[in-house]
Amino acid sequence: MWECGDCGQAETSRRKLDSVCHHCGLLVCPECRVVILDAAFAGPLIDPERTAVHCRACRREHHVAALPLSASVTR
């Protein structure tokens, strides 16, 4: 059984764990994931409006000034 790497909640039929942090690969649930615009995907041949999913720890470590596009970052 899969569980969120941030909150430890198990996946259920109603609550799918379908995202991984793009920095550390941690599996995160919809409530814990933080989606932000990420400069790692910007560039002349890549769409500058690309987003990336982050766990809360990587969001704090790598993108402290970025405003999240979704999810809570209060923990």
Give the pLDDT score at 74.
Answer: 41
pLDDT interval class at 20 (50, 70, 90): very high
Residue 3's CATH number: 3.30.40
Say if pTM beats, i.e. exceeds, 0.75: no
Give the pLDDT score at 65.
Answer: 72
Q: What is the DSSP string of 44-72?
A: TTB-TT-EEEE-HHHHHHH-TTPPPSBS-
Mean pLDDT of 38-61: 78
pLDDT interval class at 37 (50, 70, 90): confident
Q: The domain containing residue 62 runs over which residues?
A: 1-75
Closest CA to 28 of 38, 40, 42, 15: 15
Total number of domains in the chain: 1
The residue that leads in pLDDT, 34 or 50, is 34
